[in-house]
A = this chain, B = another copy of it.
Amino acid sequence: MYKIDINSDLGESFGAYSIGGDREVIKYVTSANIACGFHAGDPVVMQNTVLAAKTAGAAIGAHPGYPDIMGFGRRNMSVSSEEAKAYVKYQIGALLAFTQSAGLKMQHVKTHGALYNMAAVDQSLARAIAEAVAEVDGNLILLGLSGSKMLEEGRACGLRVASEVFADRAYMEDGTLVPRSQTGSMIHDSELAISRVVGMVKNGKVESITGKEIAIQADSICVHGDNAEALEFVQGIREELIKNGVEIVNLGSIV
């Protein structure tokens, strides 16, 4: 049977600052990526988000980023491999304290923002991250961009890896995302977006921006819950996937 995981970046509030529609979107996801205090999140937010994920039945993953709250982890930083590795370990560990407290196992790790994007193409950064995950806990699943260096290095480190796809993004012929700066990078028609995801899951294929059909591995789809429209999209995609015979399960049941 076809299966897919639905993940979302959660717990990105910070102190007095609230961001994201965690309370609603968490009901629809099977995997929760929880910010770990470097790009967003604070210990109290992490504690609460772990408990919310437990209540909602979502599997929990660490969502480590660059140490840059002012930039929300979206700005490239030239950290060394040693630094990247230590930063990822630190953040996974920090979240571990809360999953252990809650009597839960951590399921996965997915890096955030610039650390996600850079690790998709930078082999040595990807290696540092994969090693960090493997050394902290070899049972963790590494969730990364489908076809990326991140997953390549994860496999090389003996980790189970999971391929993330995006419903609302166009793909290049080589399987990378069309940069946001380029025309046609975003898919605004939500019916089209959903049908593309269904196709990725059932056929392992998607039409690239040039019109050529390309192979793509789809283990998990990333969704957001920032506003009513985003939430509606999440509900729509869930229904459509189920209607098409795709089971929605967490990563641990897929990879």
Residues of A at the B interface (CB closer than 8 Å) are 14-19, 37, 40, 42-44, 46-47, 67-72, 74-79, 82-83, 85-87, 89-98, 100-101, 114, 135-137
Contact = CB atoms under 8 A, between A and B. Distances in A.
A75 B79 CA distance: 6
Nearest to A71: B15
A31 B43 CA distance: 26
Give the copy number. 4
Contacts of A16: 19, 40, 72, 74
Nearest to A47: B86
A247 to B, nearest CB: 33
A10 B91 CA distance: 20
A43 B79 contact: no
Nearest to A114: B78
Contacts of A43: 83, 86-87, 89-90
21 contacts: A14-B17, A15-B69, A15-B71, A15-B72, A16-B74, A42-B70, A42-B86, A43-B87, A44-B83, A47-B82, A71-B79, A75-B79, A89-B97, A90-B94, A90-B98, A91-B94, A93-B96, A93-B97, A93-B98, A93-B100, A101-B135
